[in-house]
Chain A
Amino acid sequence: MPAAIQAFNSAGLLTFSSEAQTLRYLGTATLVQTVPSTNFVAGYAKYRFDWAGDFIIAAIDCPTSANTSARIESVSIDPSIVGPPPGGLWPWDIIVRQGSGTFQSSGIPNVATPTVRVWGYVINEATSGLAVYNASGQLTANFNYQPLYFTGMSSFGDGDTSAAIQTQSPFLVIGANSIYPMIATSSVGYEEWTPGNGGFGPYDYYIYGYRMYRSGMTLYRTPVVDQYYALYEDAYVAPSLINYTPPQSFFLIDFGPYLAF
């Protein structure tokens, strides 16, 4: 059975469905910890956002320089929380890597602390105005609040390091439908560092991922490879076998065409 409410854009693509989740803007996350980089290990910045919903999207401004490629690495609930969330709010941890534009002598980027904005599922709360429910009676949209707005969709072709985008104001990139998927809510792909374990020496590290940034109407991805390479710690892949620029599609999100923060 088709959704009760659907809307389409001029290209015939689905832009609203009462059976889908329309995320609302929640606010900015709080910086709670900064762990500096060393010559051997990348540091990080840790943010916290408390929210009752069971899912959030966190975003930073898409960098406009390859050297300032701060990115969100992970979004997760504090693993120390067991059972119901304290006070009804889940403590979400958001980890930001790299991006200050300065580097350790080994080349490891220093940590930036950008503004982190958060969107999340709507939750039932007393409001007036337009609220939308799906066939199961679950709240799927609440237009009393500013929704997350998808403004563009594009792809990197195999071997490409740039892709045309439809807007100059993407908040971030969401990876989708790719062999090596980008991390949702991140401005780069993925990357792993270790101060040396497994078969590596005590000061070795491996890394694989992208620095991603926007210039005008183009989004660039710079493959990052260094010293030792692996897709996964227990599944070593020789450097020559890795496709550093695989086909990769992505979405751009924003606050919408009318409002700016």
Chain B
Amino acid sequence: MPEGIQVWNASGQPIFNSLTALGVVIAQTCRVYNMQAVTYTFPDFAGRTARINWMSGDLFHFVGITVDYALGYPRVTVPASGGQKIFQVMMS
């Protein structure tokens, strides 16, 4: 039997199976205010691929958000431009 995490609820129904779930978890939900430059780092997720999921706010300036791995783990950089931006950082 393969190794993984399976969870059942109190009624005995399976509600989570790490072997069949898609490979993505939500590492952080970020809110960046007007004209703020912010860098987020994720050392707990070394070796994983980060994706940005836009949620709301200044869409026009969303495109300036970047992801790199120069530190050996994911880093997300938000330039100081535009209005408030809310987005998620997802790892797979």
What residues make up the interface of A, taking CB atoms closer than 8 Å to B? Answer: 1-3, 5, 7-17, 19-23, 55, 74-76, 129-130, 135, 143-147, 149-153, 166, 174-177, 179-185, 190, 231-232, 235, 249, 251-252, 256-259
Check if A22 sits within 8 Å of B25, measured CB to CB.
yes
Interface of A is mostly: loop
Residue with the greatest number of chain A CB neighbours at <10 A, chosen from B5, B14, B22: B22
Is B48 an interface residue when CB atoms closer than 8 A count as contact?
A: yes
Those of B47-90 within 8 Å (CB) of chain A: 48, 51-56, 59-60, 62-63, 88, 90
Assuming the A-B contacts A9-B22, A13-B92, A184-B54, are A55 and B29 also in contact, with contact meaning beta carbons closer than 8 angstroms in the complex?
yes
Of A2, A15, A75, A190, the contact of B59 (CB 8 Å cutoff): A190
A13–B26 CA distance with the chains assembled, in angstroms: 13
Say yes or no: A16-B88 contact (C-beta < 8 A), given A1-B43, A21-B26, A76-B56: no
Question: With the chains together, A76 CA to B14 CA distance in Å?
Answer: 32
Q: Which of A13, A130, A175, A181 contacts B22 (CB 8 A)?
A: A13
Q: 11 pairs across A/B with beta carbons < 8 Å?
A: A2-B44, A16-B21, A135-B44, A153-B23, A181-B54, A182-B54, A184-B55, A184-B56, A232-B60, A256-B14, A257-B20
Q: Which residues from chain A contact B51 at a C-beta distance below 8 Å?
A: 176-177, 249
Find out whether the CB atom of A15 lies under 8 angstroms from the CB atom of B22: yes
Interface residues of B (CB under 8 A from A): 2, 4-5, 7, 9-10, 13-29, 43-46, 48, 51-56, 59-60, 62-63, 88, 90-92
Distance to closest chain A CB from B66 (angstroms): 11
Contacts of B21 in A (CB 8 A): 9, 15-16, 149-151
Q: Which residues of B contact A19 (CB under 8 A)?
A: 27, 44-45
Asked if A251 and B24 sit within 8 Å, CB to CB, the answer is yes
**Within 8 Å CB of A15, what residues of B?**
4, 18-19, 21-25
Interface contact B29-A21, CB-CB below 8 Å: yes
CB distance from B86 to the nearest CB of A (A): 9
Q: Are B16 and A14 closer than 8 Å at their CB atoms?
A: no
CB-CB nearest in chain B for A13: B23
Apart from A3-B44, A16-B16, A231-B60, 14 more pairs, CB < 8 Å: A8-B4, A9-B18, A11-B23, A14-B91, A15-B4, A16-B21, A75-B56, A143-B15, A145-B9, A151-B21, A176-B52, A181-B59, A184-B55, A251-B24
Which of A55, A146, A231 is in CB contact (< 8 Å) with B9? Answer: A146
- For A1, the chain B residues whose CB sits under 8 A away are 43-44
B54 surroundings in chain A (CB, below 8 A): 175, 181-184
Report the minimal beta-carbon distance from A1 to chain B, rounded to whole angstroms.
7
State how many angstroms separate the Cβ of A178 from the closest Cβ of chain B. Answer: 8
Tell me which residues across on chain A come within 8 A of B23, comparing CB atoms. 8-9, 11-15, 150, 153
A76 to B57 alpha-carbon distance, docked (Å) = 10
Do residues A143 and B7 form an inter-chain contact, with CB atoms below 8 A? yes
Q: Which residues of B sit under 8 angstroms from A5, Cβ to Cβ?
A: 5
